[in-house]
Structure 1
């Protein structure tokens, strides 16, 4: 993952409302949720929710599929895993082993 992609993904998660939506979608799994289901779960106003969904879609945190008159929103699990791996991939890389005599 490139730095700009990671930055865009983390920036798109940078509000409490978007984190609430993303968490609801993660909990829903691959079934996803309609906009009205997300509204019911989060209490976010429709116009505000539309803005948040667009932001998260543009950052590839979610995918949206038309199903009849509804749009099913689903967490983009592959992309979310890549973001997690990006931030955790160098965990503890700069930690030096403790020497026997270190106290």
Structure 2
């Protein structure tokens, strides 16, 4: 019996997904990203972000660099402040889409009527 290859999430390879999820493999980085998602597109100054997450100085700088390299956050200078924001929410949504794309693909129910409730 021939099976079709699994569908791919648009714009996100297995390697990209693994690198992005690896960047979230720290409670502190996950906390930073959640704070930035909550703040919305206006973002937070680096000082505000540090206060909300309880992370400051070189530790926060390190985590921001890791998240930026993974494409999850952006930083921009605004006057004398550095403003941090979650990358386009579409990029973050790609991660969840990557996980859910093949949801229940190997379930024995051929009708596709799965209860996700």
* TM-score where L is the length of structure 1: 0.90
Aligned to 1:38: 49
Distance 2:76 2:95 in 1: 22
Distance 1:75 1:29 in 2: 7
Superposed CA deviations along residues 1-43 of structure 1, whole A, max 9, x for unmatched, are 1111111110000000001101100100111011100111011
User: Does 2:107 match 1:95?
Assistant: yes
Q: Tell me if 1:10 matches 2:21.
A: yes
1:45 deviates by 2.6
Which consecutive segments of 4 or more residues in structure 1 shift more than 4 A? none
Q: Deviation of residue 71 (structure 1)?
A: 1.4
TM-score by length of structure 2 reads 0.80
Secondary structure of the residue aligned to 2:105 is: coil
Could you tell me how far apart the structure 1 residues matched to 2:38 and 2:56 are? 20
The yes-or-no answer on 1:79 pairing with 2:91 is yes
Residue 30 of structure 2 corresponds to: 19
Gaps of 5+ in 1: 99-103
* Corresponding pairs, count: 99
Q: Quick check: which one's helix share is greater?
A: 1
What is the CA–CA distance in structure 2 between the aligned matches of 1:16 and 1:36, rounded to whole Å?
Answer: 19
